[in-house]
Amino acid sequence: MNTNYPIMLQLHGKKVVVIGGGRVAERKVRSLLGTGASIEVISPEVTAGMQTLFLDGKIVWKEKTFSAEDLKDASLIFAATDHKEINQSVYSFAEKHQLVTIADDPDHSDFHLPAHVQRGRLSIAVSTGGASPILAKKLRAELEQQFDERYEEYLDFLFTTRQFILKEVEDASLKRKLLTAIVSEDFFDSQNRLEDFKRLYEEWK
């Protein structure tokens, strides 16, 4: 068995096309909101949820059945209709460089979606490689409990402080020491992280 290769895509400004407008397509569309991708849905009918997204200007909806030209300029393509043959034809019309996922044929897809926890800059993705989407969902729910909302602010603190350290501290060992110190329970639990960091920095520099 070949193993999968996980990457975090930056989709800002990229076109993503979703063929089909049902429950599964909507889940895929929702996972793309907030990425900055331009999302195009091709389907004669869409769910109420997607109609709202369309009316809110969050997605483009082309009210039609699939044809090959719909794939033009797409970086990612989701084939999520309830017709096996249509989903397969989406794959066959795609160019070699376009990445396609087929909702009912994981083995012949170029990628698939993991279950995903997002806490600001922190992303945790879980994949079972198609063995059990329900296990992926269960693990995601457990991770959501473990990595609660507090991580969003904590990651912002880590980001800002790390940028400061990289810019201001030349000594490699001090740099390493500070970068390690901010990843600690003390800092996670602190109510005044920046103050605490300032104190530590003054003490150690």
Ligand X SMILES: C[C@@]1(CC(=O)O)C2=NC(=C\c3[nH]c(c(CCC(=O)O)c3CC(=O)O)Cc3[nH]c(c(CC(=O)O)c3CCC(=O)O)/C=C3\N/C(=C\2)[C@@H](CCC(=O)O)[C@]3(C)CC(=O)O)/[C@H]1CCC(=O)O
Ligand Y SMILES: NC(=O)c1ccc[n+]([C@@H]2O[C@H](COP(=O)([O-])OP(=O)(O)OC[C@H]3O[C@@H](n4cnc5c(N)ncnc54)[C@H](O)[C@@H]3O)[C@@H](O)[C@H]2O)c1
Binding site for ligand Y (CB under 6 A): 19-25, 42-46, 65-66, 80-83, 86, 103-104, 133
Q: Is 189 left (phi over 0), alpha (psi -120 to 50) or beta?
A: alpha
Q: From ligand X, ligand Y, none, which one binds at residue 33 (CB under 5 to 8 Å depending on kind)?
A: none
The tokens of 126 are what? 């879980």
Q: From ligand Y, ligand X, none, which one binds at residue 20 (CB under 5 to 8 Å depending on kind)?
A: ligand Y
Q: Rounded CA gap, 132 and 79, in Å?
A: 20
* Closer residue to ligand X in complex, CB, 116/177: 116
Contact predicate 102/91, CB 8 Å: yes
Residue 20 CB neighbour total at 10 angstroms: 26
Q: From ligand Y, ligand X, none, which one binds at residue 44 (CB under 5 to 8 Å depending on kind)?
A: ligand Y
Closest-by-Cβ residue to ligand Y is: 22
Place of tokens 């009912």: 104
* Closer residue to ligand Y in complex, CB, 21/114: 21
**Min. distance of Cβ 46 from ligand Y in angstroms?**
6
**Residues found near ligand X in the complex (CB under 6 A):** 27, 31, 101, 103-104, 106, 112-115, 127-134, 136-137, 140
Place of tokens 């990229």: 14
Q: How much is the CA Rg of the chain, to the nearest whole Å?
A: 22
Q: Rounded CA gap, 196 and 89, in Å?
A: 58
Q: From ligand X, ligand Y, none, which one binds at residue 196 (CB under 5 to 8 Å depending on kind)?
A: none
Instruction: Using DSSP, state whether 6 is helix, strand or coil.
Output: coil
**Min. distance of Cβ 130 from ligand X in angstroms?**
4
Q: Rounded CA gap, 8 and 121, in Å?
A: 12
* Closer residue to ligand Y in complex, CB, 43/161: 43
Q: From ligand X, ligand Y, none, which one binds at residue 152 (CB under 5 to 8 Å depending on kind)?
A: none
